[in-house]
Amino acid sequence: MPRTGGARAMMPLPEPRTVRGNGIDVAVRDSGAAGPALVLLHGLGGASESWAFQFRALQKKYRVIAWDMPGYGLSQGLARETPSAFDYADALAGALDGLDVDRAHVVGQSVAALIGAAFAGRYPGRTLSYTFCQGLPGLAGLPSAEREQQRRARLDAYLSGGAEAFAEQRGRRMLGPDAPDAVADLVIRVMRLIPPRGYCQAVEMMVRSDIAELAPAVVAPALVIAGSADPVSPPEIGTAARAALPGDVIEMIEGAGHYGCMEDPPRFNAALERFFERLPPRDTA
């Protein structure tokens, strides 16, 4: 039977507002709630709106914050056309400064798992925990010819038809077989808004990143979340990330494709909360 957890009516999201983040304007949605900050970072096909179900459930205990990645939504793009994960991490640090957030739990989904790892490694004192959420490992570790082939394929997949065609062709295929129709509609609607420059910059960041190189600098407690039916980041990628990161915690969202946070919010949110509750008291506030 199809799951229905992701199809329930959503509470209104906080309106996006911009803060200055390391020289650029970054759009964020901020619940403003009391409690430890929980920062949610979306991937290539996402937006701050992708975390709607986490705002609804987790803002009771956490100050939930989601950004539009630089170059997406109302956020300005980075200055360099070929940025590194650290360029995004520095923008995130600046945005958190603008929100008066000193430390946060950082969740990076898909390509943003690389940004989260870069942030956790560069700003260990500001990272309460790090979650590699159905993450991509980056392409920097591949042989140059294979790396360029994958780079070109990802850029062509978007640039050949634009965001509308990209969303229609790929949106539903990224989900698990039982994903609710309402979730598929949301994923496709968000993907239709992918901006060309922001997408290309994020792809170039992925080309230059490797989770195996970033992970050794991560000292914060780490969680890996995987989807058993994820066609983009299959479970073996999560297993490899778990081996490279501190700790040995991995949560599998059974039946979920690439967007477990939307496809099965109750299980996804419970996985985060179990992880946070296991942290020592000094790491939770």
Residue identified by tokens 């490279």 is 244
Q: How far apart are CA 136 and CA 209, in angstroms?
A: 10
Phi, psi angle pair for 239, to nearest 5°: -65, -40
Question: Tell me, what CATH number does 120's domain have?
Answer: 3.40.50.1820
Q: How far apart are CA 5 and CA 263, in angstroms?
A: 7
Q: How far apart are CA 82 and CA 259, in angstroms?
A: 26
Which of 239, 190, 186, 203 minimizes the C-alpha distance to 10? 186
Number of domains in the chain: 1
> Across the chain, where does the E strand assignment appear?
17-21, 24-30, 37-41, 63-67, 104-109, 127-133, 222-227, 249-253
Per-residue pLDDT tens digits of the chain, which is 285 residues long? 344 444 444 557 999 999 988 889 999 999 998 899 999 999 999 999 999 999 999 999 999 999 999 999 999 999 999 999 999 999 999 999 999 999 999 999 999 999 999 999 999 999 999 999 999 999 999 999 999 999 999 999 999 999 999 999 999 999 999 999 999 999 999 999 999 999 999 999 999 999 999 999 999 999 999 999 999 999 999 999 999 998 878 999 999 999 999 999 999 999 999 999 999 875 444
Residue 89: which domain range? 5-283
Q: What angle do CA 246, 235, 230 make, to 5 degrees?
A: 130
pTM of the model: 0.94
